[in-house]
Structure 1
């Protein structure tokens, strides 16, 4: 048994904890870690993967009496840091190994103590690692780092936080020398890519096959008229609410996941109206830290039956035993469903149980496809974010803080070790440091290692401005301003919209749905959006501080295939009900609703990925595509740009994973002609996106991270064309 590889002290603690037999992740992972290999462990929640990484390293630190800081444990969330400290403290304390947490909420007194008397084990976030690297005293302690664990690594790979972490690890390696790297994740769609992101010669350990899942897709029957009348909502919404209420009551504990914070708040409010004594609460990242901790503890102590939550509880925060998980409407991605349903079933031997409470039409089809893909473990591929120069800029400046007079050759050799920057050309790098020197973060002077050297090399000497710039840009997550929405009719506030939504949709004349009503934008001022009530068949729905995650092409494509399968069965008069129920795990009412939808549409035409349908309704053109969120958004923008150029009239656009809706005076024939002649799509998009509010918003966030603009600048106050012209040469 692998536990025999440990020292007697660890073996006694394992026995005391009641670990009679190692899990698969522990059997496979512990020997590899003890042998010093870099590993990526993929194993479900509650499979003991944290212990499979932590215990062998703790044993090594204990036996070799290593100096602080020996181990860095990096997680993507501060709440996970807090949770890990509680979980791992017992082990460390019993071995007389000190362990601490360091993140943005750490007090000044604690930071001082950590500098003077550091712990051997540091639990932290990528941003905090960036904060401590330039510190002279902390850098001295970080020279002792022998091990780094990156928990929930899949959460970081695809975004700028991941590229930042990749660079930070190489900066750490430059200080400490090579160290052992261990990545942990419950769900990874591209293990090889994630392993390469983590480091070199990483062994992939897959222990994810041991966990069993049971997932159902439920479309509730609309028999809740009394609830609908009571709460003044539609019968379909009342049916979902009633079904949710029954599922929660039939289980000891549950988590209910929604895709936006707004939905979570609305659901919780309606459940409270339905039953004032109902033991439930809301959990999302907009709730204060103190309140979140209280909510988590109340749930763990069984003072609450359920939590209505967003992705804030998707990761492995310990909140006790969860009997079942409910996903309210489609999770939009397979990996999200696996991650969320995986929270149920407290031990690895227990089955993880979950339900998707779907609505009709697109949602039930999408939910069915995602449930099938999840049970077949066909996860979305991970795409590593490559070479973001705004992230690189702050890391270059960070290296100048660590070493005064560092050379460009030294910096380039460090960043080339980071996987997202492995293919970067040196001429691009030199171009970037010259740009940063023009911003006065450091002075550049030609440098030759020896008299015969012909290579272009510079010495970088930091300025005072470098310190402020670096510490203002520790986070790659942009600051989001909120706009007050005011009705010009009542002259009263309606609510708030986040800056990203205003940037993308906030043009006068555009409409959106908010608090169950449709509003038309009249004007956008400094921090206010003026609106009036408006009747519209399609309006953009504002997600609360951020967009919904995109539905991948593969999922939308399979939705089209499912549509065609049902249509063909109807043509041949085959009984398709049992097949869909068995293969897609949909309840009877849901299957009948799907068949009813296709039967109705079959009179005209059933669109899929390969066969599109173009319809006209009043001054709306609707193109049905089954191409997913990103393809439809891209194609929709292209169509709207071309139509605007040809007609000289602005076009309103809305897209979802299955259709593109354009409000315009254009004819269907014009759209078909544009699609048939779409040879220069990329250049057309680049040219026109520069004029869009969305590009302006994104550009400003990048400019702020470069230090080109002050952090308090708002996107509507900038003359963007002038700024772009000044910095165009950088790209």
Structure 2
């Protein structure tokens, strides 16, 4: 029986009402996997391919045929905005089925939550943080809420693959399943998965089931892709007027439309968003604020209406939702400047173009942002805008390389050539998450013996690399620091220090948060910032500039009023990690002579310049390049974590013999230093050291405690050091790279 025939009458009616003539490939394949097996299912298909319907049509059919006596399906998503969007969508699907759809996060009213608690049924949509809070505060009600749970759907599963948040989600699913006495099937959804087998194993971890990964025959992709390069001022790389570029992507001369010394890259975006519905993606909230404010300045200069909105995680709910609502209007011709907050699958209707400022850190992020456009049968369209300052006349070699241009091209080519996307991060020692789940388990379950606590926590699949001895060390430390307290009976309960952490709402999240201040103007809440400036200084938020009138440090509130201008913003953003595969492809670009069709004239000229520089300096052929005198630069072409290991290997193992000084690292692109030996001696010393057994713990500096994850500063120092050395520093990949150099010298 085909999937359509197997659907319930209400689902078939929904399909008829929407005028569908046939099921999409993903829906037919998902129907077969969900209806005809008892396994977990991973559905990977392009954005707007119908993955949500593919998963929920069979789930709703099962729930109609045999109604569950509790919540029957749990839907976990990374963003509240995505949940809100899918809540409307699922309600439309379930309207005729009689299956209620609930959503649960911080913005949902208490009355709505109480109604669900009274009669748990249907589908519940939730974030990992809200699920953590539910397990913590409603522990005794979990069997009532989820005693007949059949499915867990994890949307945008790729966003959970490379950090503690994904580990938290898996731990929560296991804890909930044990408490409720169920073993629900898991269904993962994503548009950006590379190695589906590895992600399938991740999805199934701890479930006792395998994962079915339907092979979906997809049609050819149609992309409209361009990449342009701009020096922020002065002559451009092709030494010709930008007006000479022909075709859809040709920029106007920004000097015609903006004040003197304006950034031509922003002028390019300003011109080509006019009359279109667009996103402008930045890689940080700071950059997003500056770009928005600059684009609004262009509007002032041109006497045009302000057509730019802003959306990022530090803005208030009202600002974010206003931008989302405007974008959902089909006739809206506005542009939203955003970060990753609008990267995921919120339906904003037909978005014509996405602009990407510089290069994102991952192929996954590029694909997600690209996939925001081209809905409703139009091709996906992304315009990369790469900006860099002119290198000074006396700049050294590494400063003359257009790193962001190379990175952007590498991301695109890796996907076009190999369909490669970043895999899950494995081999970590997640001690920070171990602390978090230990405290949550104890807070929710009450007093436990150390053995009982260990059996509940260490048996969670995500902690498979952590030993009983490590856990014993953790417990002793937490008792000594009053995070835990031992009772007269030998049991464990929360200590006073532990209660202060667990009882704070910020405990629910395992990602690092900065100390934030709410920013207000009259009755409006604008968003949050970190480290507020002194009175009368200026801050940037919501795409505008504000003067600080008052700072209430007790309540963490900044009061301000608006003024014109542009100032830098700071939200505590950290750069993302970059995979070695991307750096290797960047290196290969310098060795090739191919020009890709999406590169516009400025970008072609700048890439050609970079290749010429690389050839003249032998950068394309060897890693160590002399810069003059005793100064050298090492180009490892390694990802962030192997690069970190190499930095430490050079400093700690090789540095004393080589006499390394002036060590300056621009991670993960190059390392600059002076040394007292020749190139030959450099490689000789490296060979001597790399052939020894390298204990990652010896790559830590004396008394160093590397705080990498949220609760690392609470852990015993020995575990924090071990977690960083063994779980973060990629010594294996670093050794392979160094040995490869030695084989070729």
Q: Same fold (TM over 0.5)?
A: yes
Equivalent residues in 2 for 1:201-216 (5 A)?
Answer: 201-207=210-216, 209-210=218-219, 212-214=221-223, 215-216=225-226
1:41 is paired with a residue of what secondary structure?
Answer: strand
Q: CA deviation at 1:160?
A: 0.6
2:652 and 2:261 mapped to 1: Cα distance?
Answer: 38
Matched, 1:367 2:408: yes
CA contact (8 A) 2:436 2:711 kept: no
1:212 and 1:646 mapped to 2: Cα distance?
Answer: 54
CA contact (8 A) 1:327 1:356 kept: yes
Matched, 1:552 2:556: no
Matched, 1:269 2:293: yes
The partner residue of 1:243 within 268, 282, 295 is 268
2:143 and 2:104 mapped to 1: Cα distance?
Answer: 15
CA contact (8 A) 2:431 2:720 kept: no
Q: CA deviation at 1:58?
A: 1.7
1:87 and 1:313 mapped to 2: Cα distance?
Answer: 17
Aligned to 2:186: 181
Q: CA deviation at 1:554?
A: 1.6
Aligned to 2:635: 624
1:55 and 1:101 mapped to 2: Cα distance?
Answer: 19
Matched, 1:148 2:152: yes
Q: Deviations over 1:19-63 (max 9, x none)?
A: 332111111112221234310111111011011112221222222
Q: How many residues align?
A: 634
CA contact (8 A) 1:118 1:141 kept: yes
Matched, 1:327 2:331: no
Matched, 1:382 2:383: no
The 1:286/1:461 distance shift into structure 2, 3 A limit, reads closer
1:310 and 1:423 mapped to 2: Cα distance?
Answer: 34
Q: Deviations over 1:476-512 (max 9, x none)?
A: 12231334578xxxx9858699xxxxxxxxxxxxxxx
Aligned to 1:703: 713
Matched, 1:352 2:384: no
2:617 is paired with a residue of what secondary structure?
Answer: coil
Query: Which range moves more in the overlay, 74-83 or 467-476?
Result: 467-476
Equivalent residues in 2 for 1:72-221 (5 A)?
Answer: 72-134=74-136, 135=138, 136-176=140-180, 177-199=182-204, 200-207=209-216, 209-210=218-219, 212-214=221-223, 215-219=225-229
Aligned to 1:23: 24
2:155 and 2:723 mapped to 1: Cα distance?
Answer: 35
CA contact (8 A) 1:607 1:613 kept: no
Aligned to 1:51: 53
Matched, 1:660 2:685: no
Q: CA deviation at 1:368?
A: 2.0
2:488 and 2:202 mapped to 1: Cα distance?
Answer: 33
Query: Which range moves more in the overlay, 23-32 or 199-208?
Result: 199-208
The partner residue of 1:636 within 637, 647, 657 is 647
Q: CA deviation at 1:287?
A: 1.3
CA contact (8 A) 1:148 1:179 kept: yes
CA contact (8 A) 2:281 2:356 kept: yes
The 1:602/1:38 distance shift into structure 2, 3 A limit, reads closer
Query: Which range moves more in the overlay, 403-412 or 329-338?
Result: 403-412
Query: Which range moves more in the overlay, 384-393 or 183-192?
Result: 384-393
The 1:48/1:689 distance shift into structure 2, 3 A limit, reads farther
CA contact (8 A) 2:707 2:720 kept: no
2:290 and 2:497 mapped to 1: Cα distance?
Answer: 46
Equivalent residues in 2 for 1:501-580 (5 A)?
Answer: 544-566=571-593, 579-580=594-595
The 1:547/1:621 distance shift into structure 2, 3 A limit, reads farther
CA contact (8 A) 1:314 1:343 kept: yes
2:616 is paired with a residue of what secondary structure?
Answer: coil
Q: CA deviation at 1:443?
A: 3.9
Q: CA deviation at 1:638?
A: 4.5
2:147 and 2:650 mapped to 1: Cα distance?
Answer: 55
1:185 and 1:411 mapped to 2: Cα distance?
Answer: 35
Q: CA deviation at 1:408?
A: 5.8
Q: CA deviation at 1:613?
A: 1.4
2:663 and 2:617 mapped to 1: Cα distance?
Answer: 26
CA contact (8 A) 1:632 1:655 kept: no
The 1:634/1:403 distance shift into structure 2, 3 A limit, reads closer
Matched, 1:258 2:282: yes
2:170 and 2:254 mapped to 1: Cα distance?
Answer: 55
The 1:175/1:699 distance shift into structure 2, 3 A limit, reads closer
Q: Please, what TM-score do these two structures have when normalized by structure 1?
A: 0.76
Q: CA deviation at 1:133?
A: 1.8
Aligned to 1:474: 508
Q: CA deviation at 1:151?
A: 0.7
Aligned to 1:612: 624
CA contact (8 A) 1:615 1:668 kept: no
Aligned to 2:367: 338
The partner residue of 1:595 within 591, 608, 611 is 608
Q: Deviations over 1:666-699 (max 9, x none)?
A: 787697676455447955875644555xx45448
Matched, 1:421 2:463: yes
CA contact (8 A) 2:87 2:102 kept: yes
The partner residue of 1:581 within 596, 603, 606 is 596
1:110 and 1:385 mapped to 2: Cα distance?
Answer: 41
Q: Deviations over 1:379-420 (max 9, x none)?
A: 222223644123223323433445456566665555566442
Q: CA deviation at 1:123?
A: 0.7
Aligned to 1:300: 328
2:222 and 2:432 mapped to 1: Cα distance?
Answer: 41
CA contact (8 A) 1:147 1:179 kept: yes
Aligned to 1:317: 346
1:154 and 1:642 mapped to 2: Cα distance?
Answer: 37
2:592 is paired with a residue of what secondary structure?
Answer: helix
Aligned to 1:3: 4
**Aligned residues: CA RMSD:** 3.9
CA contact (8 A) 1:174 1:414 kept: no
